[in-house]
Structure 1
Amino acid sequence: MASPGKKAYPLRLPPEVLTAVERLAAAELRSTNAQLEMLLREALSKRGIRLKPTEKEE
């Protein structure tokens, strides 16, 4: 179930990509979902796309 304020989205990934994200998440003590969100935010930032800060970032 999605957290309040977050929208659920089904995502299909090649198994090797998901495995790499899972390993990275474990190494950084995050859930796979939180790791995917962080990677997406980093990629958007590198492309110059600014997002509103989350409650945790404020």
Structure 2
Amino acid sequence: MANKKHFPLRIDPELYAIIERWAQEEFRSVNAHIEFLLREAARREKRLPKRKKEDE
């Protein structure tokens, strides 16, 4: 398992509920789904390099 940075996250309860339901639909934990959404946003903005084929 990769080392992960731990930090507290303050989030609006309504937004959390939306993300929680969304994560369940995608069979992810809330934490994994938030990371997924942030990674996708960073890729869209070209701030995160594309993964190599062997990493996928």
TM-score range, shorter chain: 0.7 to 0.9
Question: Map of 1:23-42 to 2, 5 A cutoff?
Answer: 23-42=21-40
More helix per residue: 2
Aligned residues: 53
Deviations 1:2-23 (A, max 9, x none): x650011100000111000000
Alignment match, 1:18: 16
For residue 50 of structure 1, report the CA deviation from its aligned partner: 1.4
Task: Provide the identity percentage.
Answer: 43
Which segments of structure 1 move beyond 2 Å, counting only runs of 4 or more?
none
User: TM-score, length-normalised on structure 2?
Assistant: 0.82
